[in-house]
Amino acid sequence: EMGVEGNVIWVSRFGLDSDKLTAEMIDGDKGLFFTYSERGKTLLDHYEFLPTPSGCRSQFYYDGLPAGKVNHYLIANEGDRWVFGFMATPEMPDRLSDDEPLDFPKSASLWVSVDGDQVLVRTEDGEETQLTMPPE
């Protein structure tokens, strides 16, 4: 079963009150925000994707993992620059805004930044390591 309600498209395996995946269009066709409910209970798992003129911003959040486990992933891209963040978040994070900077994943306790062949890694204890990727 599937349907459309405003800017939300939903797909259900067993009917409206059972397992249900929703995809909400953000500001028309600007991005997507996915949520999932199981047996009528909304789970806080979500995936959000916002394209930008030169790349994208996205985040994934998974609820129900043991406390302290990485469950929140942040990704940003502009051209050859990528930033990935990883952290344990107890509650569903705020949605991304239109003006998230490229470095927004660096708000995580563990992150990796890639700029061309340069890689910078920051560990959860604050140590940073600079690496150069070998040529192809």
Q: What is the pLDDT of residue 106?
A: 97
**For residue 73, which of 92, 62, 86 has the smallest C-alpha distance?**
86
pLDDT at 79 over 70: yes
Q: What is the pLDDT of residue 69?
A: 79
pTM for the model stands at 0.74
pLDDT at 29 over 60: no
> Hey, which of 26-30, 40-44, 84-88 has the most confident mean pLDDT?
84-88
Q: What is the pLDDT of residue 40?
A: 65
